[in-house]
Amino acid sequence: MLKSSKRLIGKSILAGLVASALGISPAIAQNYPNKPITLIAPYAAGGDSDFSGRNLAAVASKLIGQPVVVQNVVGASGTIGSQKVSAAPPDGYTLLVSRGGSQAIVPALDSKTPYKWNDFTMISLLDFNPVVCVVKNDAPYKTMKDLIDAIRANPGKLNYATAGPGTTQHLAVEVMLSQLGLPSTAAMMIPYKGGGEATTALLGGQVQFICNNLTTMVGQIKGGAMRALVTSTPNRLKDFPDVPTAKEMGIGNLEQVMGWSGLYGPPGLPAEVVNKWQAVLKEVAKDPAWLRGNDTVGAIPAIRSPQDTEKFAREQFELYSKLGTQLNLKK
């Protein structure tokens, strides 16, 4: 009995030391959550990270028993908000809506990024976002061929909007231009704070086209304010059967570029917190409101295990690192 008690005491002390090293106590992890959770979207309101965060928060708040509050922390292609989470206490009260741009593309292309692709605790993927290239409804470009011909005929004259260098919107155009045998300067990038602002810039006539995630633009496309010219999906979209695929238009490499959202935490997030969120996300994945939200904007549900999320994130980082080398985009 005495030896057993000593072993239990020893384990308790060890658990306490480990928890202290992580900056939290075992009791806090076991009682998680007992206060509101901040979910940082690293791009501007109206963009894909904002949508994914709010679509999740609306359902998760009810399931997890505490308010989940979305906070937009924008700037530097999503790295400011991402860095804030990577430096946050690992207690589960500050989480990140991870994005392909901020978590894979930027770290792959820019050696000065203040974090690495895996400097986070990966909880799950949330959704995938096809990329669609669009123009304003009154633009003279009726097809993707029209737009490509205009870029060839007027190199450097047409502008396109992005959420910043190294984002999905930027890389999609770079991949397209490269496959067409055109330099990066054939079309000029105009950076904005987020996908929502980039979309607004197109509607305002500040740029001629944008290759953005469908989730940000589906309402304007369905409403007729924008004309979709091509999709990055292997097959035509069910809601937009008249929009040709990238492969049909001779720019099949565009399929490599896809937007996505995930749920990340700071490094060292306790297993109890990760497991809590995994249990919540299993219910989220079946929730009609969450599914309906994704369907409304053309997002594809993609909730995964932490292990599958890390595997996917690694593959994305390696893909963009390779693309960056091929396209001479690394710095």
Nearby residues of 120 by Cβ (< 8 Å), 6 or more positions away: 85, 86, 96, 98, 103, 264, 265, 266, 267
Q: What is the pLDDT of residue 29?
A: 59
Give the DSSP per-residue string, 153-176. HSTTTEEEEESSTTSHHHHHHHHH
Q: Whole-angstrom Cα distance, residue 42 to residue 118?
A: 17
Query: Is 13 a residue whose pLDDT tops 60?
Result: no
* Same CATH fold assignment for domains 35-129+259-326 and 131-256: yes
Ordered by start, the domain boundaries in the chain are: 35-129+259-326, 131-256
Superfamily of domain 131-256: Periplasmic binding protein-like II (3.40.190.10)
- Rounded average pLDDT over 287-299: 91
Looking at residues 147-151, what average pLDDT do you find? 97
Work out the burial of residue 58: count CB atoms within 10 Å of its CB; fewer than 13 is exposed, 13-18 middle, 19 or more buried. middle
Asked if 97 and 42 count as a contact pair (C-beta separation under 8 A), the reply is: yes
pLDDT at 10: 39
Q: Which amino acid is at 198?
A: A
> For the whole model, what pTM was predicted?
0.78
**Residue 258 per-residue DSSP state:** -
Q: How far is residue 273's CA from residue 36's CA, in Å, rounded to a whole number? A: 14
Q: What is the pLDDT of residue 326?
A: 82
What is the arithmetic mean of pLDDT over 53-70? 97
Q: Which residue in this structure is represented by tokens 């530097």?
A: 76
Close Cβ partners of 259 (under 8 Å, ≥ 6 residues apart) = 48, 99, 100, 101, 128, 129, 130, 131, 168, 213, 215
Q: Does the structure show a pLDDT above 70 at 4?
A: no
Round to whole Å and give the CA distance between 291 and 224. 24
Assigned CATH topology for domain 35-129+259-326: D-Maltodextrin-Binding Protein; domain 2 (3.40.190)
Task: Please compute the mean of the pLDDT values over residues 234-260 and round it to a whole number.
Answer: 91
Give backbone dihedrals phi and psi of 99, rounded to 5 degrees, phi first: -130, 155
pLDDT on residue 9: 35
Look over the chain and give the mean of its residue pLDDT values, rounded to a whole number: 89
For residue 303, what pLDDT is reported?
97
| Mean pLDDT computed over 16-44 | 71
